[in-house]
Structure 1
Amino acid sequence: MQTSEKTYLDMCRYIMDHGERKGDRTGTGTLSTFGYQMRFDLSEGFPLLTTKKVPFRLIKSELLWFLKGDTNIRYLLQHNNNIWNEWPFKRWIESSDYKGPDMTNFGIRSQQDEGFNEQYKEQMDKFKERILADESFAHTYGDLGNVYGKQWRNWESSQGEWIDQIQQVIQDIKTKPDSRRLIVSAWNPEDIAPERAALPPCHVLFQFYVVNGKLSCQLYQRSGDVFLGVPFNIASYALLTHLIAEECGLEVGEFIHTLGDAHIYTNHVEQVKTQLAREMKPLPSISINMEGKSVFEVETDDIELNGYDPHPRIKAPVAV
């Protein structure tokens, strides 16, 4: 039996059984636990959940977006990736330039009112179309601020210098593989204010570790939406580990996922119960074509998922 997915499902069961009820920024409410760690042996297979379908194409394009240092959703929309839309849309509908119907609390209202949900989808579609068609509008309303891509590739120091953390960590893995400083941080205290970043980084820091020709990665994530977000995070950092290992001529080892506030939103509880009732299937594998390319030049077509046969998707609302 594969253990990677069981590790995740065990966390879901633990939070369902032992999680404390807490309020949250979105007003939805959660079952929460503090401090939880999962380990995934990447030689066992690629840790993409099989008890529900997780769209790997979105994980690919988001990670490559991070690695390019991009922070504007225009690239994501060009790849039919909608997972970051709600945050710039919120800024748009709260701006003085927006003249459409009232979209206040659209995340919750769209789940409760079918008529409003149709209005919301119409306004979101118009927003996306304008982001794709109007470069000036995209520049103003499509940018998420100083989020992951900015911090990974263009960290600005207090001295006004620019630091490419990903390029630096790749160089250090190649030249100083025993270093205990193979770290990339996305948490810049200056940039967590809403006017500087749409959302403060949830996955705040990761560290690489090299031993016996294998590359492992540990992520510290301050906040994890266990049903919707964490499956993406697991697969994304597993993919990142594969990409960096390929760049550095190493095999893959483990991905270790350490969570601060690990929570299940109260409006995801029934979906989690559905998932826990399903049987796990064999894990897929991935293949990466990096011939003649650096990790920064890889495109979505260079990464293929093989043998993925999951149970159907389980829909759930995003808390914004």
Structure 2
Amino acid sequence: MSYADKVFVDMCSDILKNGIDTKGEKVRPKWDDGSYAYTIKKFGVVNRYDLKKEFPALTLRKTNLKNCVDEILWIWQKKSNNINDLNSHIWDSWADENGSIGKAYGYQLGVKHQYKEGMMDQVDRVLYDLKNNPYSRRIMTNIYVHQDLHEMNLYPCAYSMTFNVTKNKETGKLVLNGILNQRSQDILTANNWNVCQYAVLLHMFAQVSDMEVGELVHVIADAHIYDKHVPLVEELIAREQHPAPKFWINPEVKNFYDFTVDDFRLDDYITGPQIKNIPVAV
């Protein structure tokens, strides 16, 4: 059975059983009807996925890989903060009349900074170091920029990636690992979406750097299930689990900026039915 399913079921069960209920507390998010969106939350959830063994897509319900990849390319490759460059509507609630989400996400990755080696943005700095300084302990990105928070329509949730290179003792090949830091996560709507996105990102960076892919470690400071999501989560984690799908990445792509959504695929992906009309707190 899928390891991602086991991680998800264990995490949700722990939150529901041992989490803290914020009902009655001062919270920011609200539902469409104006009522406060309370959560059951756990602090400091850490999940590990060995991408050499399997791709971490849930089989309890389908995670739409194409839309996941489209958003990760929007942020990391296009470095865009405008929803008109995105093919889904997941950011519509946070965009202004021109489609901008402010100085958030892709905007921050596209800002150039002065390094000893010259001017580079954060993505190009990662690519440079993976090629020239793979054992550096400084290969990381951060889009939680305090001076620009007031110009962000939504503060970044997944805000930092730390990349670390090890070596496969059997093959001698370098192995790329990553830690995704997330300040907050809506577990039902976003957990496996983000896991799949950053698993794909690691695969992309590993391939263009001539490395093997290794572990993705996901650190969530505030892992929460919204009050209106509890019955949906309870039904979801009780479902039948299936074997993990097979992940395909186009082996011909050697430049990070050449990837498209069509260069990725999940084969033999058997899932339970999709959950529709999930209420989203804003």
Task: Mark yes or no: TM-score above 0.5.
Answer: yes
How far apart, in 2, do the equivalents of 1:54 and 1:292 lie? 24
Identity %: 36
Q: Say which of 35, 44, 59 aligns to 1:35.
A: 44
Question: Which residue in 2 is equivalent to 1:17?
Answer: 17
* Secondary structure of the corresponding residue to residue 61 of structure 1: helix
More deviation, 277-286/219-228? 277-286
How far apart, in 2, do the equivalents of 1:5 and 1:163 lie? 39
Any conservation in 2 of the 1:35–1:258 contact (CA below 8 Å)?
yes
1:319 aligned to 2:281? yes
Any conservation in 2 of the 1:290–1:298 contact (CA below 8 Å)?
no
* Secondary structure of the corresponding residue to residue 79 of structure 2: coil
Question: Which residue in 2 is equivalent to 1:68?
Answer: 78
Any conservation in 1 of the 2:175–2:214 contact (CA below 8 Å)?
yes
Q: Say which of 163, 166, 169 aligns to 2:123.
A: 166
Following TM superposition, by how much is the alpha carbon of 1:3 offset from its aligned partner in structure 2, in angstroms? 2.4
Q: Which runs of 5+ in 1 are unaligned?
A: 93-140
1:56 aligned to 2:65? yes
Q: Which runs of 5+ in 2 are unaligned?
A: 30-35, 168-173
Q: Say which of 230, 237, 240 aligns to 1:269.
A: 230
How far apart, in 1, do the equivalents of 2:158 and 2:122 lie? 15
Counterparts of 1:236-251 in structure 2 under 5 Å? 236-251=197-212
The change in CA–CA distance for 1:36 and 1:210 in structure 2 (over 3 A counts) is same
How far apart, in 1, do the equivalents of 2:182 and 2:232 lie? 23
How far apart, in 2, do the equivalents of 1:200 and 1:156 lie? 21
> Structure 2-normalised TM-score?
0.88
Kindly provide the amino acid, as one letter, of the partner of residue 44 in structure 1: K
Any conservation in 1 of the 2:208–2:253 contact (CA below 8 Å)?
no
Counterparts of 1:130-149 in structure 2 under 5 Å? 141-149=98-106
* Secondary structure of the corresponding residue to residue 198 of structure 1: coil
Following TM superposition, by how much is the alpha carbon of 1:263 offset from its aligned partner in structure 2, in angstroms? 0.4
* Secondary structure of the corresponding residue to residue 188 of structure 2: coil
Higher helix share: 1
Any conservation in 1 of the 2:113–2:121 contact (CA below 8 Å)?
no
Following TM superposition, by how much is the alpha carbon of 1:291 offset from its aligned partner in structure 2, in angstroms? 2.6
Question: Which residue in 2 is equivalent to 1:45?
Answer: 54
Any conservation in 2 of the 1:4–1:39 contact (CA below 8 Å)?
no
1:86 aligned to 2:89? no
Any conservation in 2 of the 1:187–1:201 contact (CA below 8 Å)?
yes
Kindly provide the amino acid, as one letter, of the partner of residue 28 in structure 2: R
1:4 aligned to 2:4? yes
Residues 52-110 of structure 1, C-alpha deviation per residue, up to 9 Å, x if partnerless?
A: 1121111010011112111111121xx3x11111112xx44xxxxxxxxxxxxxxxxxx
RMSD (Å), alpha carbons: 1.7
Q: Say which of 267, 274, 277 aligns to 1:306.
A: 267
Any conservation in 1 of the 2:2–2:58 contact (CA below 8 Å)?
no
* Secondary structure of the corresponding residue to residue 236 of structure 2: helix
Any conservation in 1 of the 2:207–2:254 contact (CA below 8 Å)?
no
1:179 aligned to 2:136? yes
Any conservation in 2 of the 1:218–1:255 contact (CA below 8 Å)?
yes
Kindly provide the amino acid, as one letter, of the partner of residue 86 in structure 1: S
Following TM superposition, by how much is the alpha carbon of 1:297 offset from its aligned partner in structure 2, in angstroms? 2.2
Following TM superposition, by how much is the alpha carbon of 1:8 offset from its aligned partner in structure 2, in angstroms? 1.9
Any conservation in 2 of the 1:285–1:306 contact (CA below 8 Å)?
yes
Any conservation in 2 of the 1:202–1:223 contact (CA below 8 Å)?
yes
* Secondary structure of the corresponding residue to residue 192 of structure 1: helix
Question: Which residue in 1 is equivalent to 2:161?
Answer: 206
The change in CA–CA distance for 1:71 and 1:290 in structure 2 (over 3 A counts) is farther
Kindly provide the amino acid, as one letter, of the partner of residue 54 in structure 1: T
How far apart, in 2, do the equivalents of 1:174 and 1:38 lie? 28
How far apart, in 2, do the equivalents of 1:162 and 1:267 lie? 47
How far apart, in 2, do the equivalents of 1:227 and 1:162 lie? 39
Kindly provide the amino acid, as one letter, of the partner of residue 85 in structure 1: D
* Secondary structure of the corresponding residue to residue 152 of structure 1: helix
How far apart, in 1, do the equivalents of 2:251 and 2:74 lie? 17
Aligned length: 262
Q: Say which of 197, 208, 230 aligns to 2:152.
A: 197
Following TM superposition, by how much is the alpha carbon of 1:10 offset from its aligned partner in structure 2, in angstroms? 0.8
Residues 199-224 of structure 1, C-alpha deviation per residue, up to 9 Å, x if partnerless?
A: 11001111011111211110110001
* Secondary structure of the corresponding residue to residue 264 of structure 1: strand
1:257 aligned to 2:218? yes
